[in-house]
Amino acid sequence: MSIQPGHRKRVKHVEHPGHVRELTFSCYQRRPLLDDDWRREQLSVAITRALARYPWRLAAFVYMPEHVHLLVYPTTAPADVSRLLFAVKRPVSYRVKQRLADSGDPILRDLTVRQRPGRTTFRFWQEGPGYDRNLAEPEAVLAAIDYLHRNPVSRGLCQRARDYRWSSARWYESNGVAVDPALPPLAKLPAAFLHEA
């Protein structure tokens, strides 16, 4: 089956009360657009505002240069994860576009794509919702957190997970004591996911 022009794959978000969600979304064409502190700070602001607006809590995260991992869980049922993603991604894209336009940065041209004849759009994020996985078992949740925190080490961005600022690793290592005001607020996992292995 061929995909028609303009057609894109859609991820079906499956809402299961009590499940932790592992969300991954990428920058446009997997470019390293999050290699800049100002852009990462804008992402933190957007996540913080989205968490205040929608019934989700952030359990873990990491911002890699070309993609983002968020581990979230709902505080009420039902909770629409697509609204959360929209509230995170759209303001970042808007602010970055404005900054690029104000500074005359040539990357603005590279990130402006032709959507159809006569219409262009700015793309900071890869089109679509990204990757979404429901995690129901404590072992799967803890493995996902470990994976997120090891990601910068595996990529050579730091020697120890706690040394990478744009991650929740330091917060976990300090039992929630190390709080960086430039990062989004974290919440402890629900008790069902905190049993001893």
Instruction: Provide DSSP, 9-51.
Output: --PPPPP-TT-EEEEEEEBGGG--TT-SHHHHHHHHHHHHHHH
Q: Kindly list the domain boundaries of the chain, sorted by start residue.
A: 20-193
> Looking at residue 120, what DSSP letter applies?
E
pLDDT of residue 190: 81
**CATH number of the structural domain 20-193:** 3.30.70.1290
Amino acid, res. 172:
Y
Cα atoms in the Cβ-side hemisphere of radius 13 Å centred on 126: 18
pLDDT of residue 192: 75
Task: Provide the residue-wise pLDDT of the chain in tens; the chain has 197 residues.
Answer: 333 344 344 444 445 456 899 999 999 999 999 999 999 999 999 999 999 999 999 999 999 999 999 999 999 878 899 999 999 999 999 999 999 999 999 999 999 999 878 899 999 999 988 999 999 999 999 999 999 999 999 999 999 999 999 999 999 999 999 899 999 999 999 887 766 44
